[in-house]
Structure 1
Amino acid sequence: MQLLQTLCQIAAPSGNEALLANFLLNYIHQQKSNWNASPTVLSGEEFQDCIILVFGKPRTAVFAHIDSIGFTVRYGRQLVRIGGPDVEAGYRLVGQDRVGAIDCRLVVDESTGALSHDFHREIERGTELTFYCDFRETESTVQSCYLDNRLGVWNALRLCETLQDGIIVFSCWEEHGGGSVAYLAKYIYEKYGVRQALISDITWVTEGVHPGKGVVISLRDSLIPRRSYIERIRRIAEDAGIPHQLEVEGSGGSDAKELQHGAQPWDWCFIGAPEDNVHTPNEIVDKRDVNSMLGLYQVLMREL
């Protein structure tokens, strides 16, 4: 879990993912000689802060967004949400502006719900603040801010170790409306002819999805994927004997939104471990679900 802890500690709110992108590029270049196959690494201004790894003769692409929720400093002490963070008075927030490091608490006006901070000085407007990372690991669980989606990123990086054929995509902006997957999907479809995807992201513990019962295969959220593709994935998971759960939701979304709304005929399926305490500093995931998530991705990238 050392790699996961490192990923959770790197601030990368939507729109300011460069620090994590640079870490990933360094990690990839250091580790790829130890992987079963060496990928082509695509990055740079053409892809903004996104990264594409191409292994062998790809048939399927895995999308994992690297950004997180957070807050933007407005005027005075005001804060504006980045994405949909949970807001509870007293949450510890950290950041950096041109004056120096910032460590403060979230303030929530009880009457209006307005958000602000309690830092001892005015913070430069436009500065991003993120949850302080208190990474906690037990024998059975891991708990931290930003498991959504650093765990999805971790899963994609671990998948790289054994992947022979496939594409791994590290995308940006997912938590705040998306914007990168549209051009990434177009590039991948036109250059490699790939049009089936897996979304390596984290879902929710609900009345029908329970921790420790296996990775979640989502049948739908606010969007509905093509059923024939989902059924192929279900058959592969069942034949492999990997513990998994089925999810049906009427809200929520992921990088799949841009795939389904795009001009190319992408099939997609959201597959991820369920977490509790969503979008708080205390997101928690069962390690059994983490293991089944990685195991299912390894099988799917061979079989799809």
Structure 2
Amino acid sequence: MNLLKQLCQIHAPSGNESGMKDFILDYVDQKKDKWVCQPEVFHGPELQDCVVLKFGSPKTAAFAHMDSIGFTVRYQNQLVAIGGPEVHSGYKLVGQDSLGPIECELEVNKDHQLFYKFGRAIDRGTDLVFKCEFEETDTEITSGYLDNRLGVFNLLKLAETLQNGVLVFSCWEEHGGGSVPMLVKFIYDKWQISQGLISDITWVTDGVYPGEGVVISMRDRNIPRKSYINRIIEIANSSDIPYQLEVEASGSSDGRELQISPYPFDWCFIGAPEENVHSPQEKVNKHDVICMIDLYKVLMENL
């Protein structure tokens, strides 16, 4: 899990994903010679900070967002949330401004306003994230930003054996999305791909349990096409990989932007369930992570 630990420690809140983009490009350049199929790598100004890897003759694209929740420094010692972080006084925040590295403390007042405690003023506009404290046991991983560094990890592991498919690393998902409309046009125009998988992290709930396999989401706030979901479940059933079915009324992902795009794009959210969502102590079961990677391998080959 050393790669996952590295990913969790990269500073990349929504809008500032360039560090994650650079890591992915370096990783691909170092590892691709050992992969089953050599990918074409697409990045640059036309994709902003996003990255697309194309393998063989693709029929399916898997999407993972690179960004995380966090905070933006406002005026005086005020903070503005990026996305929907869990907030409690005492959480450690890290970042860097013109005067150097920052490790400060989050303070939440009785009106739920957010502030930082630090020995000096921090440049306005500086983004801060939870300090990463990665812990691993025989069965579990606890860390900030498993959402969605685990989704990125899944795609990078998938790349080792993928022969046909597109892997898409997107931006801004935690703060309302924004990059997927451009990305879906890019991959549809180039390869006429019209089906996708969302490599992201879901929640442990009253019907989804840690340690019982990867989660196939039948719906969240958005409803994907049932015939596509049924195909995925049929393939999962034939694979003998442990999985759980999720039905929720809230939550969203890059799948929403695929659904509302002007392209005939099917999608399904598939990911490991986690506890302590959007906190510095997000927790996943290793068995669920392994099931996630295994199911993506099967789906990318058979969809």
* TM-score, structure 2 normalization: 1.00
3-state SS in 2 of match to 1:236: helix
Structure 1 CA distance for aligned equivalents of residues 190 and 22 of structure 2: 25
Structure 2 CA distance for aligned equivalents of residues 225 and 28 of structure 1: 31
Residue identity in the other structure for 1:103: E
3-state SS in 2 of match to 1:125: coil
Is structure 2 residue 31 aligned with structure 1 residue 31? yes
Shift of 1:104: 0.7
Is structure 2 residue 52 aligned with structure 1 residue 41? no
Partner of 1:259: 258
Partner of 2:56: 56
Partner of 1:218: 217
Shift of 1:186: 0.7
Residue identity in the other structure for 1:36: V
The alignment's C-alpha RMSD in Å is 0.4
3-state SS in 2 of match to 1:14: coil
Map 1:73-84; keep pairs closer than 5 Å. Answer: 73-84=73-84
3-state SS in 2 of match to 1:90: coil
Partner of 1:173: 172
Shift of 1:142: 0.6
Residue identity in the other structure for 1:93: L
Structure 2 CA distance for aligned equivalents of residues 55 and 90 of structure 1: 45
Structure 1 CA distance for aligned equivalents of residues 183 and 215 of structure 2: 25
Partner of 1:151: 150
Structure 2 CA distance for aligned equivalents of residues 228 and 257 of structure 1: 17
Shift of 1:156: 0.3
Partner of 1:291: 290
Residue identity in the other structure for 1:8: C
Structure 2 CA distance for aligned equivalents of residues 162 and 105 of structure 1: 42
Residue identity in the other structure for 2:284: V
Map 1:223-234; keep pairs closer than 5 Å. Answer: 223-234=222-233
* TM-score, structure 1 normalization: 0.99
Is structure 2 residue 144 aligned with structure 1 residue 106? no
3-state SS in 1 of match to 2:33: helix
3-state SS in 2 of match to 1:86: coil
Structure 2 CA distance for aligned equivalents of residues 235 and 145 of structure 1: 34
Is structure 2 residue 241 aligned with structure 1 residue 274? no
Is structure 2 residue 48 aligned with structure 1 residue 68? no
Structure 2 CA distance for aligned equivalents of residues 212 and 95 of structure 1: 34
Structure 2 CA distance for aligned equivalents of residues 169 and 12 of structure 1: 16
3-state SS in 2 of match to 1:288: helix
Shift of 1:187: 1.0
Q: Deviations over 1:152-211 (max 9, x none)?
A: 000000000000000000000000000000010011111100010000000000000000
Residue identity in the other structure for 2:53: L
**Alignment coverage as a number of residue pairs:** 303
Q: Deviations over 1:260-303 (max 9, x none)?
A: 01000000000000000000000000000000000000000110
Map 1:231-246; keep pairs closer than 5 Å. Answer: 231-246=230-245
Query: Which runs of no fewer than 5 residues in structure 1 stay unpaired?
Result: none
Partner of 1:2: 2
3-state SS in 2 of match to 1:223: coil
Structure 1 stretches of 4+ with a deviation exceeding 4 A read none
Residue identity in the other structure for 2:277: V
